[in-house]
Amino acid sequence: MEQHKEETLQGQLHLLDPATVTFTPTPGGYLSMTDGENTYPRVKLCRALPYYEPEKYICVCNPEDGTEYGMIADLAPLPEEQKALIRQELSRLYFMPTVTAIRSAKMKMGFMEFEVDTDLGPRSFRMRDPSRNIRWLTPALDRRVQLTDCDGNRYLIPDAMALDKKSRNKIDTYLV
């Protein structure tokens, strides 16, 4: 019975076979996919577990309406050149600046105004409701913290404990 349940659940995932799937870059910088005899001129990639399994469960979708064509369970069995292609595309989609230091964080007009240093240079932004927008990803697993500004831009602190003390003090009270 248990076995049977497992199988029906497995059947829900439409997994793509790494042996038959090929991705090719289009001149415009997108990806197209061929799976056996099916060709998809443009596909969108999407991570199911973007932080903890960035190289697994990659969904391949229609860029227009988001319907899923299938899922790559793991990048590992794919050839290197294919992996590189997918990684490049994913890093563009999931691009997120990394915060290295927090210069200042002050509440003003109901917004928290940040001045931070990132791997892409200094940056200032405003945040609404800091207790909701300064968040551990999963405090039980690691020390990654995500900041979301009022425009929806997201910034990652790879290890909140590794920040200098002054930076850490500025966000400490909001980390639950």
Partner 1 sequence: MIFEDLPKEIRARFEERGILGLKECVKSDMLPDGTFGILWVGVDEEYLYLLSGKEKRVRRRGKPTKTEFEETSFDLLPIKDLGKCKVERYFATARLVCEKEGEEPRELLKFSLGAANEINKLLRHLGDKRGEDSSEGGPAQGNRGRHGPPPPPPSAEKSEEEKKAKRKSTIRRMLGMFKDYRRLLIRYFIVILISAAFGLLSPYVGTKVLYDNVLQEGDPWYGQVGLFILMLIGVRLISMGLTMLERKFFGADIAPSVTYDLKTKIFASLQRLDMGFYTDKQTGALMNRVYDDAEELYWFFCDILPFCVINIATLIGITIILFLLNPLLAAMVIVMVPLMFFIYRGLTRFFRRMHHRRWTYRSAMVSQVSETVTGQRIVKAFAKEKEEVDRFSAYSDRFRKVSLQLQNMQATVFPAVGLLTVFANMAVLGVGGTMILQDNGFTLGALMTFTTYLNMLYSPIEYIAHMSTELMRCIDSAERVFEIIDTVPNVRESDNPVSLPRLKGDIELKNVMFEYEPGRPIIKDLSLKVNAGQMVGIVGKTGAGKSTIVNLMARLYDVKEGTITIDGVNIKDIAIKDLRRNIGIVSQEIYLFTGTVADNIRYARPEASDEEVIAAAKAAAAHEFILKLPNGYETRIGADGQDLSGGERQRVSIARAILQNPKILILDEATASMDTVTERKIQEALSALQQGRTTVSIAHRLSTLRDADRLAVIEKGDMVEYGTHEELIRQKGVYYKLYMLQAEASKQIALAE
Binding site for partner 1 (CB under 8 A): 26-30, 50, 92-97, 107-110, 118, 120-123, 125-126, 131, 149-154, 169, 172-174, 176
Q: How far is the CB of 123 from partner 1 (least distance, A)?
A: 5
- Which residues are 118's β-sheet partners? 99, 121
In degrees and rounded to multiples of 5, residue 70 shows phi and psi of 170, 180
In degrees and rounded to multiples of 5, residue 162 shows phi and psi of -85, -10
The tokens of 155 are what? Answer: 């910034």
In degrees and rounded to multiples of 5, residue 23 shows phi and psi of -105, 140
Q: How far is the CB of 78 from partner 1 (least distance, A)?
A: 23
Q: Which is nearer to partner 1, 47 or 83 (CB)?
A: 47
- Which residues are 58's β-sheet partners? 47, 72
Q: How far apart are CA 172 and CA 35, in angstroms?
A: 48
Q: Which is nearer to partner 1, 69 or 125 (CB)?
A: 125
Q: Which is nearer to partner 1, 20 or 131 (CB)?
A: 131
Residue pair 120/79 in contact by the 8 Å Cβ criterion: no
Q: How far is the CB of 121 from partner 1 (least distance, A)?
A: 4
Q: Which is nearer to partner 1, 126 or 144 (CB)?
A: 126
Q: How far is the CB of 45 from partner 1 (least distance, A)?
A: 11
Q: Which is nearer to partner 1, 65 or 81 (CB)?
A: 65
The tokens of 110 are what? Answer: 């109901």
Contacts of 111 (CB under 8 A, 6+ apart): 126, 127, 128, 150
Q: How far is the CB of 20 from partner 1 (least distance, A)?
A: 25
